[in-house]
Amino acid sequence: MTHMTAKAFSGLAAAVAVAIGLAMPGCASSAPPAGDPGAAVPVTVSRVGVTDVADTFDAGGVVEARTTATLTARILAPVREVRVAPGERVGAGQVLVVLDGRDLGAHARGARAAAEAAEQGATAAAAEQQAAEAAQTLARARYERVTGLHAKRSATAHELDTATSVLRAAEAGAAGAAARAKAAVSAVAAATAASEAAGTTESFSLITAPFDGLVTEKLVEPGNMAVPGGPLMRLDDTRGFRLDVRVDESRAAQVSLGAVVPVALDAGATGATATVDGTITEISRAVDADARAFLVKIALPVTEGMRSGMFGRARFSAPPRRALTLPSAALVRRGQVTSVLVAEAGVARLRFVNVSGTEILAGLADGDMVITNPPPSVTDGTRVTTGGR
């Protein structure tokens, strides 16, 4: 057998292919193969248009108790007892910390004894005044009797002088007794005030809760020296909480007193969130010079598990505005890049866009037809058939 040339072999192969094609006319498909770039892929499109958009913005902050108290010492004294620990709930008037106030107790007892002695002195002075007034009454009666007798020439001038002298002495004694009685009353008032002051000072050794609340921090231990003004414990009033957030100066017009705003609370390690309705109770009129922001305080309802230190995010709303939007299903996000596919004359065209939510900031125009939920096979330049809405 002679060997075929390359040209003869290729011609034979072409002839065989034509023969097979002619012999099998029923096997040819009327649709182009799936990989044929000329195949039109059916897609769903949506028109880009101007709609009403809710103008909202978020501001985050930390949840705090509406009332927080830092309990401090008012005297210099060692700490004897700390009766509560952080996390414990306490009632108003409950003793939390006991200071060593034995010297204050002794002083208070001495002041009370002095007050009792002053009261006894006042009683004695009152009795002395009564005796002096009785003597004065007797001296006056004798003086009047002697005066009458002297007028009838039945008493001598000496007797009249004696009666007069006795009356003057009785009057002076009564006046002195009255003054001493008043002084005794004043002494009682002073001793009583001193006793009350000593008792009040003695009470400084007992640090009590000013309201029902939750102990959040313990700052001393038994044996520490408490100093006047030194913090001992922190207490939160759990009957009310608030969220403090800072709002940009440009957004101040969108915040108003009494407005109800939704607040999302971070539950902590679990990552779960809960949403409650808060009420704006205070708007600071001073602008932070560095951040150019207002401080806004939002009262929160009492919710199970709420505590100070939780992170919260408030959402503020303004009247809707008109903006260019598109369906979120049309957005294709790859890393930091967001794009859409636009159907133009039966061909898919890739557009890079800048969006905020579903609001179009750049990249599209009103009336553009974007492909929603584009199939993976549709890329820039793919032929498409639309059945949009």
What one-character-per-residue DSSP string does 140-188 give? HHHHHHHHHHHHTT-S-HHHHHHHHHHHHHHHHHHHHHHHHHHHHHHHH
Mean pLDDT on 49-78: 86
How remote is the C-alpha of 126 from its chain's centroid? 60
Q: Are residues 256 and 300 both part of a single domain? A: yes
- What three-state secondary structure class fits 22? helix
Summarised one tens digit per residue, pLDDT across range 187-222 is 888 888 888 888 888 888 899 999 998 898 999 999
Task: Burial-class residue 96 by CB neighbours within 10 Å (0-12, 13-18, 19+).
Answer: buried
Q: Which residues contact 223 (CB under 8 A, 6 or more apart)?
A: 78, 79
Q: Are residues 275 and 332 both part of a single domain? A: no
Q: Are residues 107 and 194 both part of a single domain? A: yes
Q: Are residues 80 and 228 both part of a single domain? A: yes
Rounded to 5°, angle at Cα 335 from 331 and 336: 80
Backbone angles phi, psi at 11, to 5 degrees: -65, -35
In a domain, 62, yes or no: no
For the chain, what percent of residues have pLDDT higher than 70?
86
Question: Who has greater pLDDT, 41 or 10?
Answer: 41
Q: How confident is the model at residue 309 (pLDDT cuts 50, 70, 90)?
A: confident
pTM of the model: 0.51
Q: Are strands 231-248 and 332-334 parallel, antiparallel or unpaired?
A: unpaired
Rounded-to-integer distance, Cα 308 and Cα 62, Å? 8
Which ranges of the chain would DSSP assign to H, the alpha helix? Answer: 6-23, 102-151, 157-203
| Contact (CB, 8 A) for 43 and 371 | yes
**pLDDT over 80 (residue 32):** no
Q: Are residues 110 and 198 both part of a single domain? A: yes
Q: Are residues 262 and 305 both part of a single domain? A: yes
Rounded-to-integer distance, Cα 175 and Cα 290, Å? 76
Which range of residues forms the domain containing residue 346?
A: 41-53+324-386
Q: Tell me the CATH number at 348.
A: 2.40.420.20
Q: Tell me the CATH number at 87.
A: 2.40.50.100
Mean pLDDT on 308-314: 86
Rg (CA), the chain: 50
In a domain, 59, yes or no: no
| Domains of the chain: total | 4
Strand order in the sheet with 225-226: 206-208, 95-99, 77-82, 225-226
Q: Are residues 362 and 373 both part of a single domain? A: yes
Q: How confident is the model at residue 37 (pLDDT cuts 50, 70, 90)?
A: low
Q: Are residues 225 and 261 both part of a single domain? A: no
**The pair of three-digit structure tokens given for residue 126, joined into one six-digit string:** 């009152």
Least confident of 249-263, 268-282, 305-319: 268-282
Least confident of 21-35, 119-133, 330-344: 21-35
- Count Cβ neighbours within 10 Å for each residue of 219-257 and write b for 16 or more, e otherwise: ebeeeeebeeeeebbbbbbbeebbbbbbbeeebeebbee
Summarised one tens digit per residue, pLDDT across range 69-124 is 999 999 898 999 999 999 899 999 999 999 998 887 788 888 888 888 888 888 99
| Contact (CB, 8 A) for 268 and 310 | yes
